[in-house]
Chains A and B, each alone.
Chain A
Amino acid sequence: MAAATALRLAEADRARLNATLAWSEEALAAEAELIGRSREPGALQNIPVAIKDNIVTTGLPTTCGSRILEGYHSPFNATVIDRLHAAGAMVACKTNLDEFAMGSSTEHSAFGRVRHPLDPSRVPGGSSGGSAALVAAGVVPVALGSETGGSVRQPASFCGIVGVKPTYGRVSRYGLVAFGSSLDCVSVFARTVSDAGRVLRVIAGSDPRDATTLTTPPMALPAPRASLAGTTIGIPREYFPADLDPGVRAACDDALARMRELGAKVVEVSLPHSSLAVPAYYILAPAEAAANLARYDGARYGARAAVPGDVRALYRATRGAGFGAEVRRRILVGTYVLSAGYYDAYYARAQAARRRVAADFSRAFASGVDLLFTPTTPTTAFKAGEKTGDPVAMYLADVFVCPASLAGLPAMSLPIGRSDGLPVGGQLIAPPLKETEMLAAAAALEGVLEADTEVSR
């Protein structure tokens, strides 16, 4: 499997996907040797898994798509890596991402953008674009990404694959390089719902090294179901605005029709505070990020600017040169909204807005809805360069995925059709800890949509 993976990775390099940041035959051989030591086959035995380059690994460097961590070799593995190894899986490579996971297109990587496997002029989405592209291109069957505001669901939707974000606290963040600590979730890409569920089950579980993990019974694998009888699907009206892209709307209508055919009851609900989600997110996540990225100063690890002068000169030059434009903007926004005199107007308000967004979901689920269904993204994959001129335009790409992140809910995207040849994703959002139910329903829908969603040749 190591050799076969190496071949596919080399092919992907030749195709100039630019989806990988690090891989080598030696590293693959070392992985094969490591998992070969176990006497019993694990749940993911010999499966190659691509790893987003903000999850630390000892065998390959971790850069987070940033110059400031160029050449950094982590002295420890993330918990999710240990769990993959324990299940017999191997780390295939590290994948490209928006720098420090800040972005929605993977155009903000210091190491070049990732090309959409179906159309190289387009973006695969972000920030986990590299992982999404590799799974969509058939280079690896599954990949790990991370979500803070939708960074797995959105690229899954653009690339026509499955992307699953668990409940916040379901999967350990130990070893996931922190961006927005109260939002970050290691998440899974796969070509099928079933594969995504298998990987999620392996990496999930409380971790004594992460105080924010939940102590819950292990996640059960979904029982296969062919019918959605007894399941109530809620469609929030705020996610189906009048000006929704017609291709996206058509695919959603089709998916809803299929769900009704499978026996689901479909009701309209309202999540009235949905429009607060993106502004609240762009206060809270940068604030946490500003603090989380303060450790990158060239003192103890990573890259260091060669400048004369005192410690302050070192910090400023290292960080000024080492961080890209988007990261720098977010650090500055985050510092601003926490600074003296602004905390109440911004940070405190954003926390309140977050609670309102979360309360909307609770109310909807309490009213008898089992799952919510929405489009994952307002459009299909956009062209490279289309949104980089205006940071806010890029932020609005997250409008449908951001709220579930703020609420800490499990959510996923699965392919539901095409629009002008580009994949369209449908989103399911579940109550806390209901990943199993969500995956079961998704699999049922996937079963009837399968024929229409062939991804790559």
Chain B
Amino acid sequence: MSVSPADVERIASLAELAVSPEELPELTAQLDRIIGFVAQLSASGDTAPEGDVQIGPLETPLREDVVIPAALVRGPAEIAPEFVEGFFVVPKLGAMEE
């Protein structure tokens, strides 16, 4: 299974990552190499039992339903690239509009 430039473009689009036409060939080659490397897992065809080793807790802890103040040392206005009248601001939806 090899990775094609079209694959890379589709994946980059899903991941909202700009990839220029100049970058595409080398990036495709690198990804092909990496996917080729990890694909050896598919080839291993291991039938040994997997075991059920638990990493981390067995069940999630739950939180009591109380309102807690956020304790932010600096608020949204201070960290946002653009913040107007209490809102985070980004461009129009454009192509993303449903």
Contacts and interface: CB of A to CB of B under 8 A. Distances in A.
Query: Is there a direct interface between A and B, measured as CB atoms under 8 Å apart in the complex?
Result: yes
Interface of A: 58, 72-73, 75-76, 168-169, 182, 208, 211-215, 272-273, 276, 279-280, 282-283, 290, 294, 297-304, 309-317, 319-321, 323, 328-329, 331-333, 335-337, 339, 345-346, 349-350, 352-353, 355-356, 358-359, 361-362, 390-392, 395, 407-408
Given A300-B76, A329-B27, A310 B91 contact: yes
A311 B37 contact: no
A149 to B, nearest CB: 13
Contact of A320 (B18, B37, B46, B80): B18
Contacts of B38: 279-280, 282-283, 333, 337, 346, 350
A336 B51 contact: no
Contact of B40 (A75, A279, A314): A279
Contacts of A58: 73-74
Contact of A312 (B1, B61, B96): B96
B14 A339 contact: yes
B67 interface: no
B79 A328 contact: no
B16 interface: yes
B3 to A, nearest CB: 7
Say what secondary structure dominates the interface of chain A. helix
Contacts of A345: 1, 39, 42
Given A310-B93, A311-B94, A336-B31, A182 B37 contact: no
Contacts of B84: none
20 contacts: A73-B78, A73-B79, A169-B57, A272-B48, A282-B37, A301-B80, A310-B92, A314-B91, A319-B17, A323-B17, A328-B27, A329-B34, A332-B11, A345-B1, A345-B39, A349-B42, A355-B50, A355-B51, A355-B53, A356-B51
Instruction: Pick the most buried of B8, B16, B49: most chain A CB atoms within 10 A of its CB.
Output: B16
Interface of B: 1, 3, 7-8, 11-12, 14-20, 27, 30-31, 33-35, 37-42, 44, 46, 48-53, 55-57, 60-61, 63, 71-76, 78-82, 88, 90-96
Contacts of B72: 75-76
Q: Identify the 7 closest CB pairs spanning chains A and B, nearest first.
A: A310-B94, A320-B18, A359-B51, A408-B55, A358-B53, A75-B72, A355-B50
B94 A309 contact: yes
Contacts of B53: 355, 358-359, 361-362, 407
Nearest to A340: B14
B17 A311 contact: no
B56 A332 contact: no
Given A323-B17, A346-B41, A310 B75 contact: no
Contact of A211 (B40, B61, B74): B61
A352 B90 contact: no
Given A311-B91, A314-B90, A297 B16 contact: yes
B37 A395 contact: yes
Given A312-B16, A345-B42, A391-B30, 5 more contacts: A168-B55, A208-B61, A276-B44, A300-B80, A320-B18
A316 B50 contact: no
Contacts of A300: 76, 79-81, 88
A89 B42 CA distance: 48
A83 to B, nearest CB: 16
B30 A315 contact: no
Contacts of B20: 320
A304 B34 CA distance: 30
Instruction: Pick the most buried of B8, B56, B57, B60: most chain A CB atoms within 10 A of its CB.
Output: B56
Instruction: Pick the most buried of B35, B41, B93: most chain A CB atoms within 10 A of its CB.
Output: B41
Contact of A336 (B11, B56, B71): B11
Given A346-B41, A391-B33, A331 B46 contact: no
A314 B91 CA distance: 8
A214 B56 contact: yes
Contacts of A349: 41-42
